[in-house]
Structure 1
């Protein structure tokens, strides 16, 4: 196995960072264009989140040509592309024709002076830094020289499990919200019977799977903090906690919390 091409990898980092900056710039322009009443709609950032990783994966794939293992490079590119494009399309379809997300209203209500400048500091810059850091698993994996083996196969299985949970969970939630007869109730069927957040669990599994693919060859294992940050954000920071805070007052939600696993899928508890 050839040694890790450290110099080529370090050379690629500024280009990946530039890709993040371009994604943020385009997203900011789209937010201003989608706004109403002179106010930008900064929740457009959610739509760009998944595709932003795809942009980084494409840049790393191009720059790692002739350096990393081709099988791993293609696998990481394809898996990131499928996940990121599906997620962006889903959020974009869900947000089409709507208003600013309440989370962003809450986040930006303390703005002093220019609201857009405040949004750059509180929304775009933090998410851009997280995007770059989390994507290090993909970036390092693209340059890893070891061949694919059993750990990559396990990573593919974990990724596929995550994609199924995320996509099926999103579909079930979308159908639930579109059913007028279910308005004001709590979704507790399908995958939502086994975890209160199948979409967040699926997202976490996707990144765990990508990490296993990268970690099979040195120094991919050193990027463990990248998926750890993503999983922590989903389970303990801006994913699960904010969603449950918004749902807390809905009739039947307390009973749902008592009977259903908070994150990892598990048979519902009986009372």
Structure 2
């Protein structure tokens, strides 16, 4: 219990540092969406803290550090390359209601995301102080690893396909409806959710670990409702062809596109 409190407290401190530095950068460039870069980095910081300070199974600690780092660093690099030198994300303009005061940005963006990052990372913190995964739960961990792979592929490939689509001047003003985007309107968000449900399955070592199910559930809520898919679609509403795209393409969980 003592070691968990140490890991959890150090994880919170790491998140405060990551988001605090990002908030300072945000104030300097007057853009809130830089927090999206910190989102992935915050989890990498927690995974590193858990791997170093935890006294649980070392193999699982290193595995989780590797999985979270691959996901988090890729996401941070992608978001930075996507947003560097550009204006504010319309999602954050809508969320902040054009009020860019330090208090409003800190309260509505950084505080919420920082606390959420700590809560979502609870499975990593609990797992860092738990013993080896029982042999009977190895299949569960294997399913978790497979789900993580599916998530990373959907997220990375979806981002790549969208970037390539937007780079073609012929697609200006058109709706991306190819590749993974023909199977789900949000392959990147679906991939994110899959990654964290997979990580949660890997961290299950017994009944206590099951209580952290609210962590991936909260991540999924954010990806669907708070700062993810629903908010993105509010911004997209009214664009030519978007309603038709919605009518034949799954919202979140992939499925074959409807013929029409």
- Same-fold call, TM > 0.5? yes
2:23 to 19, 28, 33: 28
Match of 1:3 in 2: none
Structure 1 contact 146–217 (Cα < 8 Å) conserved: no
Q: Which residue of 1 aligns with 2:122?
A: 136
Length-normalised TM-score, structure 1: 0.91
1:194 shift after superposition:
0.7
1:19/1:55 contact within 8 Å kept: yes
Aligned to 1:58: 48
For the pair 1:123 / 2:114, whether they are aligned, the reply is no
Whole-Å separation in 2 of the counterparts to 1:153 and 1:184: 42
1:146 is paired with a residue of what secondary structure? coil
Cα RMSD (Å) = 1.4
In the alignment, which residue of structure 1 is the partner of 2:12?
A: 17
Q: 2:198 aligns with which of 209, 226, 238?
A: 209
Contact kept, 8 Å, 1:43 with 1:100, in 2: the verdict is yes
Work out whether residues 7 and 50 of structure 2, in 8 Å CA contact, stay in contact via their aligned partners in 1. yes
The total of aligned residue pairs comes to 257
> Does the aligned pair in 1 maintain the 2:91–2:227 contact within 8 Å?
no
Report deviation, 1:219. 2.4
- Counterpart contact for 2:155–2:191, Cα < 8 Å: yes
Q: 2:56 is paired with a residue of what secondary structure?
A: coil
Pairing partner for 2:35 from 45, 54, 68: 45
Q: Give 5+ residue unaligned stretches, structure 1.
A: 1-5
> Do the aligned residues in 1 keep the contact of 2:131 with 2:205 (CA within 8 Å)?
no
Q: 1:144 to 1:266 in 2, by over 3 A?
A: same
